[in-house]
Each structure stands twice: as structure tokens, then as C-alpha cells.
Structure 1
Amino acid sequence: MNNPYLDIVFRSVSVYLFMIIALRIFGKKQLSQLNTTDVILILLISNAVQNAMVGSNVSLAGGILAALSLFIVNLVFKRIVFKSERIKNWIQEKPEILIHNGKIEFETVAKLGITSEELEEVMREHGIAYFKEVKLAMLEMDGTISMISGHPSLRQTHHKRKIHKSLGEVGAL
């Protein structure tokens, strides 16, 4: 492109769309449970895509234009997702049953990459000691795990999984 500012807009929108597709491929668990390696990955990706978005233009105007482009494309994309059931279904994953009537759904848990240690941690946070006490555990669309205990004395809770603040909006996709 001849216009360096249109080039920045094009590059920024391209990186945004790439990240939407990449996040869809790698799944919601990746967003909702950030550990040290995930934070490092996010930092490295942000550094890598910054160069892809602004190219050799490291001016203030170039950076602001890249950020503005991302805000606008995010707003437009959210409206498209809101209005299109087909795109919404492609972007948003469905809730998944992890435990049903005390029995772990091993195939689902393995597919999502959730370890037994992670499930046990969430159970402890919900005040549940044994898998057999879990009536229903779900990985929700937003990456949270909700649990309903089968034990009458335990209160029902909703566990908010750790979501990095800068990924909160993307995590809802």
C-alpha cells in the first residue's frame, strides 16, 4: 500500500482477525487459566504482533492509529457476533459437563486439557471433598467452572476462574 496509515489499519485488522481465529483454535481453557508460561506467551505475542501491525512506523501517530483500528474492529466484530447466530456459534464454545452425578467425564476433561488436580482445586474452593459429592460440574462458555454439590449441607457456588484482565473481553467470545 502507498499510504502508510492505511497500511497500519490493514495490518492491525489482519492481526486482530488472526488472534480471534488462534484463540478459537486453542480454546477457552487457555484464556481462563493463565499460568506463568501463558503470561510469558501473551507478552511475547504482543511484542511480535506490534511489529506486524505498525511495521517500520514507530511514531506516536502510528501506535495510536493501530490501537484505534483495534478498538474499531473489536466493536464491529462484537456487533457482528451479536447479530449472527452462525458466527456466535463458531466463536463461542458450548458449556461442557465435567462431572455428572459424581462421575468424571474423562473424555471431555481430557479434550479440554483439564487435569484432575485442577478439578480437585476447584472442588476444594467449592467446599467439596470428594468427586462423588459433585452433582454437576460445568465448564461454562466464559471459561468458569460452576459446581452443584449433591450434599445438602454444602452451599452451591460458582467458581470464577482466573482471567487475565486484558483478556476479559476476548474470554467472553
Structure 2
Amino acid sequence: MWHDMLTIQLPIAEKILRTVLVYAAMVVLFRLSGKRGLASLNTFDFVVVFLLSNVVQNAVIGADDSLLGGLVGAVTLVAVNAFMNRLTVASPRIARVLEGTSTTVVENGSVMTGAVRRLAVRPSEIEHAVRVQNGEGIRDVASARLEPDGHLLVVLKQSAGAPTRADVARLEKRLTAIEGLLRAEVAGTRPESTGGHGNDS
């Protein structure tokens, strides 16, 4: 039993090469599937992801079902992924090639129809992202971009956005001034207190 578990049935170099090639193929496939598919998985996307692991399993392990062979593949996969993450951080150019760039889907309250259709972004997804930013609708959006990781980044118009600290400070200053005026008005109109006069009769 231990012999079967620990004896690699394929050369280690072939095992590593298989894992690297399958990893690279998956990166290309997800890159071609578009940015939206990376963040918003619908029912069909889940089915594809679920089946992909079984489809590529034999391509990774080959004719090797040993424990040690599986560990070699797992270590290779994690190592390649860590290397790619560091590579994209170190080189913005490589990051643009592998991950793509952001795409504007809304500009000044108007939906960019061509970009939305090309990226398969539904209006409901944009409206949800706007509501998360406390906006009321797409008309409140100054710009919205679909990032390479599949997330929508929404910037609201200044009139529609949440109040800033400066806005709050200005409001507090005005309220303080109004409060001072009201106090002065009340003090100026208050009747003067008169002393009591006794009845001598």
C-alpha cells in the first residue's frame, strides 16, 4: 500500500510540465471569457467551473494516481500561482497583458451600450453597484468602470454622492451661526422683568 501511494508513476519533470501547461491554458481561457465572468458567476458559470476540474484532472495527473504524484502537482500549482501573482505586481505591463485593463461602462449618467454588450454586463448589475454607493440610479453616476478583476467601480456625481467631511463641517458652521442668531433674537425680544408693586390700599 505504501509503495503504491509513494511511488510516482510519471517522471517528476513531466508532472510539473503538465501542471504548468494546464495552469497556463486555464489562465488564457478565463482571460478570453471576459472580466465579468471573474466576479459575477451565474448558474451556467458555476457548472462550467465545477466541470473544468474534472475535465483537466487527467491532463494534470496523467496515468499517475499516487499520493506523492498528487502532492507534486499541488505544490507545482501553488508555486506557479504565487510566482504569477508576484510577476503581475512587479510588472504593470505584464499585468495589463494577463489581466487586461478597466473598461468604462457608464459616463456622466449615460450607459456605454457597446461596452456593456461586449462585456455582457446587465443594467441591474450597474444599478446594484450604484445603490451600494448610496446613489439612486444610473443618472447619478459620473463614471463607472469594470475592473480587470470583474468588479464595478462606481464614482457618483458630486451632487449625488454622500456628504464629505467638508460638507458636514460647513453645515455645522451654518447651524451654529443660526443658533447664535436665534439666541440673540430671543434675548432681544424677551420682556424685561419688573419688580412687584405691593397694593397699599
Q: Which TM-score band applies after superposition, normalised by the shorter structure? A: 0.7 to 0.9
**Equivalence map 1:8-157=2 (5 Å):** 8-150=15-157, 152=159, 154-155=161-162
User: In structure 1, how many angstroms separate the alpha carbons of the residues matched to 2:15 and 2:54?
Assistant: 16
Q: Gapped runs of 5+ residues in structure 2?
A: 1-8, 164-201
Q: Gapped runs of 5+ residues in structure 1?
A: 157-173
TM-score between the two structures when normalised by the length of structure 1: 0.79
Give aligned-pair identity as a percent.
30
Q: How much does 1:129 deviate?
A: 2.4
User: In structure 1, how many angstroms separate the alpha carbons of the residues matched to 2:159 and 2:92?
Assistant: 39
Q: Deviations over 1:5-43 (max 9, x none)?
A: 222111111101111111111122111111222122111
AA aligned to 2:74 is A
Q: Deviations over 1:51-109 (max 9, x none)?
A: 11001211111111111111222233334434444432211211111111111111111
Q: How much does 1:121 deviate?
A: 2.4
- Higher gyration radius (CA): 2
Size of the aligned set, in residue pairs, is: 155
TM-score between the two structures when normalised by the length of structure 2: 0.69
User: In structure 2, how many angstroms separate the alpha carbons of the residues matched to 1:24 and 1:67?
Assistant: 22
